[in-house]
Amino acid sequence: MHRVVNGLAQQSVDIVDTDRTVAPRLVELCRRAAGEGVVLLRNVDGVLPLPAHAPVAVFGRVQCDWFAVGYGSGGDVKAPYEVSLLEALREAGVAVVGELAAAYETWAAANPPDEGYWGNWPRHFDEMPLDAGLVSRASREAGVAVVVIGRAAGEDRESVLEPGSYYLTDAERAMLDAVVARFERVVVVVNTGNVMDLSWADDYGDRLAGLILAWQGGMEGSRGLVDVLTGAVSPSGRLTDTIARRYEDYPSAPNFGHRHFNNYAEDVFVGYRYFETFAPEAVQFPFGFGLGYATFELGAAEFSGGGDGDGDVAVSVEVRNVGERSGREVVQLYVAAPDGALGKPSRALVGYAKTAELAPGESERVSLMVPRAALASYDDGGATGHRSAWVLEPGTYTLYMGADVRTAERVGAVEVPELVVVEQLAEACAVDPEAPFRRMTVRRDGAAARVGWEDVPTRTVDLRRRILDALAVEIPVTGYRGVQFDDVAAGRRSMDEFVAQLSDEELEALTRGHGRMNSPLGAVGNAGVFGGILESLRAKGVPPVTCTDGPSGIRLSAYASLLPCGTALASTWDPALVRELAAEHALEMVRKGSDVLLSPGMNIHRDPLCGRNFEYFSEDPLVTGRMGAAVVAGVQSRGVAACPKHFAANNQETNRSKNDSRVSERALREIYLKGFEIVVKEAWPQTIMTSYNKINGVWAHYNYELVTTILRDQWGYDGMVMTDWWMQHSRDPHFPEVWDSAYRVRAGVDVLMPGSTVDGLRRGVDRSLLRSLAKGDGVRRGELQAVAGRVLRFVEVSRPARSGRGEGVEPDSRSAGIG
């Protein structure tokens, strides 16, 4: 299926690499990950796997026009190949009904799908009208029918509560009705990257015997699915989101999709944290759920540690395959914390592990270690007497283990006799007092939980004072003294000595990209280049650094592998597999000339309608953090860099560059920042990307408290931070002579990408830094030097995939902005 490459750039580029070769190991890992991410939701009377050599009738045009990935920067990869489901079935020797398959192939060829254009991608493809005679003849030839329904979403475009997006179309419903009426055994495959409504599955009862979520699995996705359908692979994927019976039951529904702002009124009660606490009856398929062909039993759990809330908790359990087929099991561990003064969800995931492939009768002991901090809650209002602190409130912390959040059983408890302050921090990114709202909490009527509401704590910090107290000290300027960048890398001279030589113009250039996508300083079709963008910097040995999207593959003009989407990877619940895949993918980065992969996408699935959910991992921060850490560790093991994004609270595409995410500090810390915190502390990404949106009134790329207070000061991160592509104009309300890039640098955001502001085509490169530097109360040279130092340390550590490219090339007047 044809896909538009570099749609965002809106420019034509020469194809310089026509090599479609993909490393066999990468192909193998893509197929394995796609298959292990498939989630089997229903399997009545063992309708799956498909019986060997028996004819199968396949319905739905998506069998021909397969959705391999979503749209936008997270999907528009120039894939070397894509395989339709019909092709994959035939490859595997499945006896598809010939007349039916030919009818779909002929109709699909005569009615090719419209791929749309940027921000106007198709959400579905029109279905072939079904002839009753064709259905009847197919039912006489095959005992099993497979019906395929496809959905897509993408950047700059939400899913919507309409047929063809979140809901079935009339044609799809008619197809299901006709097939279920004629076939005794029907399996539905939902090919998507985002959650859609599945309530219709219950309307058919057991006549709809099989239901599978085949997340968009990239170039090998259809083959991974067929491995599951035929039984070559036992399904082991598990849901990373709750699937509710109605959209209106999601706690985010009243506060999603508004143009100017969204109050995150559900607070920490996101996804299963809400449903398991307040509305279990509203759930169709619970978080962590998934069936397999194997059957497992968990032995008695062994439990130790955590006495008086002091120290880590260890839980181990024997997992035995008591079925007749091989398979893998996912063991999940949840905590039920005491409500106390803060109010807690009934369940929160604190650990998980996936077994190896276990043959019938085989067993494996799974051990999970839960850090004490994983049991803590964040007090953002001082309800416990310790504002801006991670605390363990007194009471019983009960641990539940099982195959999903709903069926997990009690395995032990930790008693905390008195309040424990796990970590005292400082307030940051609290709600603006000018925009207060009420947030959800829990109230108890005996054992029953009900929704309560309370005022959200608001900001108390004097941000101007905080900034002035921490301004970087200037390194005395020396002018050029012959120190080359290689001297720093070799340890012969210090980074401060090198930075001291740089002019203000060179310092400023290090704080931005080259000014355009598809920079001539990098591989053709690149997202942007930073670092050695001036000839004088390259003369001192600073190379240009090439960035490329993204989460599903390297987005260049060259052919590059198309990986499973983020939801598919997370649904494997296998960080080791994801790390191995990322490491192999990084070797392709080196071959193609990419130094920085703008991946992984790490925003929370707050609402099922978010258009970019397919790029992200989960509604849960632990799954998000562990999967993100796996991608980062894998990529960076090969000497190139990963760039987790979008930091932070980028949870909708509607008016994404101006929308304000109004969210409590507690919800930020426990839900929306937690995954990033895990990635920083476990995988140490060399760079991180900020988001487009505002957070409590301040754009992320200007947000000092987000980037400096939390990320750098509290988490200890000393890497580089870049913007998402382009940024909004704004003036720092605390410092009138600090605006645009000066505002960004003061916040601690190192690099503006691709190097221009939102209207860069008209205004050229943003010069606010040098203008502000000349003002007495503007940005300080020490701040520019601090940013330059971080950028240069990144260049030193990241070891670009190819050095010396673009020597002597200077941008002309047409290179600012996009062409």
Q: Which residues are catalytically annotated?
A: 724
What does the alpha-carbon distance between residue 237 and residue 577 come to, in Å, rounded to a whole number? 13
Amino acid at 559: Y
Q: Check: CB of residue 76 under 8 Å from CB of residue 245.
A: no
Phi (first) and psi of residue 5, to 5 degrees: -100, 140
**By C-alpha distance, which of 672, 667, 669, 697 is closest to 265?**
667
**By C-alpha distance, which of 346, 336, 340 is closest to 394?**
340
CA distances from 544 to 397, 534, 595, 804 (A): 52, 9, 9, 8
Residue-wise over 81-102: b if at least 16 C-beta within 10 A, else e?
A: ebbbbbbbbeeeebbbbeebbe
What does the alpha-carbon distance between residue 759 and residue 102 come to, in Å, rounded to a whole number? 51
Contacts of residue 197, Cβ cutoff 8 Å, sequence gap at least 6: 166, 167, 168, 246, 247
**By C-alpha distance, which of 69, 6, 168 is closest to 615?**
69
DSSP string across 786-807: HHHHHHHHHHHHH--SS-STTT
Contacts of residue 645, Cβ cutoff 8 Å, sequence gap at least 6: 598, 599, 600, 601, 602, 603, 688, 689, 690, 691, 724
- Dihedral sign for Cα 60, 64, 65, 68, please: positive
Please work out, in degrees rounded to the nearest 5, the angle formed at the alpha carbon of residue 309 by the alpha carbons of 308 and 315: 105
Q: Two tokens at 60?
A: 């739905």
Side by side, which strands form the sheet with 687-689? 687-689, 720-725, 751-753
**How far from the centroid of its chain's Cα atoms is residue 731's Cα?**
30
Q: Contacts by 136-140 with C-beta closer than 8 Å and gap 24+?
A: 136/182, 137/99, 138/57, 138/97, 138/99, 138/100, 138/182, 139/57, 139/182, 139/183
Phi (first) and psi of residue 751, to 5 degrees: -130, 125
Q: How many Cα neighbours within 13 Å face the side chain of 119?
A: 8
**How far from the centroid of its chain's Cα atoms is residue 119's Cα?**
19
CA distances from 421 to 424, 524, 681 (A): 7, 52, 20
CA distances from 43 to 326, 328, 332, 397 (A): 17, 17, 22, 35
Q: Check: CB of residue 763 under 8 Å from CB of residue 726.
A: no
Q: Contacts by 444-453 with C-beta closer than 8 Å and gap 24+?
A: 444/339, 449/277, 449/278, 449/346, 450/278, 451/278, 452/343
What does the alpha-carbon distance between residue 38 and residue 492 come to, in Å, rounded to a whole number? 52
Q: Check: CB of residue 667 under 8 Å from CB of residue 648.
A: no
The residue to which tokens 């398929």 are assigned? 285
User: Residue 814, exposed/middle/buried by CB under 10 A (0-12, 13-18, 19+)?
Assistant: exposed
